[in-house]
Amino acid sequence: MAFPVDFTWGAATASYQIEGAWNEDGRKPSIWDVFSATKGNVFNGDTGETACDHYHLYREDVALMKSLGLKAYRFSTAWPRIIPDGTGQINEKGLDFYSRLTDELLEAGITPWITLYHWDLPQSLALRGGWLNPDISGWFADYTEAVVKKLGDRIKNWITFNEPQCFIGLGYGTGEHAPGYRLPEAEIISCVHNSLVAHGKAVDVLRAAGGSNFNIGYVSTIQSPIPAEDNEECIATARLSLFCRQKEKPLIWNISLISDPLYLGEYPSDMIGDLEKSLPENWEQDMPLINRPLDFYGINIYSGYKIRAGKDGLPIYVPPTTGEAHTANLWDFQPDVLRWGPKFLYERYKKPIVISENGMAGTDWVSRDQKIHDAPRTDYLDRCLSGLEKAISVDKIEATGYFCWSLLDNFEWALGYRDRFGLVYVDYKTQKRIPKDSAYWYSEVIKTNGGSLS
């Protein structure tokens, strides 16, 4: 198989989605506590108040990871648990939880990967403007410093942000996610720029603490374009469709809006005319800070869309055929996404690719034999990872890690507990964990470094 001998095999989670303990040990509300408690915002009125109770069950969960052979675990820290008011007083009890979790992981031989922001902004900062407020970059830097001072002696792998397309695009644009705002595009661009400056300041804090010993990156998300035919024209057109300005999409959903400043040091030339009128005065002076050197490109990929070339060479979207397969949350089933998305991103940004999330929503249940037979998930993951292997072996991309989403069934944001992404089934009433068939399958993939893939 093509996977490097030191390839990182892991699983991922996020704080609000699994921890629970929403008001324990000094933690104060996040925007998701407020949003999910507001009637009509989340499916079935679900909240993350208890979630998977990982805050209390983390030792059992780490033991489960070890039994499955996970080499790495990507988790996020909760800003309102660490600095409950967003700024000011640090809550040592909150930091102590992540310190205990880190020690438990290391003792189990599992490498921790930490995400500093996976959407749970302190509510107190939302009341001060949240990502609309330029001061947030300093607040985020202070939060980063608190985390790295506590954990930087043991954690070497750092991610600043997860999916700005979602926490800004869905949180401030469509209102589907917390804090539930529906703002004009000019204010969305302000949020984007403020978050990029916050990232740059956080990288400076991390480098000051760990220098080149730290492995630092950023996580974005795409629906991957897939060539409708495996020929050079279709491949080139699919590549173009990923990075060119797509007028039918809000700006935030164009991957180059975020990635070009981070990795190339400039906003995309085909967007700058629309951006300049909304960017802050002297925004150019922020670009060196935004463009601090990073060690990898983290990408979350779940689904994709097929592209063919039109007569003018421009991309034409190929819609799904009637009855084409889809997942439980109605995302199109396109298992070639890890062949093409990572290839195009590596070619453009020249950084090692880490698949920071990939997985499938299912409608899993406990069978009569008390097991969970999730064959579609196993098939999906097998096909996706086979595509990634091809990107490594055929296209010669550098890919260094893969994190399955998710370790556990969990609170899936506006969809609550309706859909299940986990390798491990969670009975939310009893908090019993049951590894699914896919978990045992993935365990074998890890053990063989991908050799067991179909």
Which residues carry out catalysis?
A: 163, 357
Q: How far apart are CA 451 and CA 429, in angstroms?
A: 38
Q: Which candidate, 73, 24, 25, 19, places its Cα nearest to that of 48? A: 19
DSSP summary character for residue 44: G
Beta strand 353-357 with 399-405 is parallel
Q: Which candidate, 155, 60, 66, places its Cα nearest to that of 102? A: 155
Q: How far apart are CA 17 and CA 144, in angstroms?
A: 21
**CA angle, residues 355, 360, 362, in degrees to nearest 5:** 160
DSSP sequence for 368-432: TTS----HHHHHHHHHHHHHHHHHHHTS---EEEEEEE-SB----GGGTTSSB--SEEEETTTTE
For 354, residues 6+ apart whose C-beta sits below 8 A from its C-beta are 8, 217, 296, 297, 298, 299, 399, 400, 401, 402, 403
Look at the block and give the residue holding tokens 């897939």: 226
- The tokens for 144 are 């980063």
- The tokens for 357 are 């999330």
C-alpha to C-alpha distances, 426 to 48, 359, 420, 434, 440, nearest whole angstrom: 14, 16, 9, 7, 16
Q: How far apart are CA 389 and CA 4, in angstroms?
A: 10
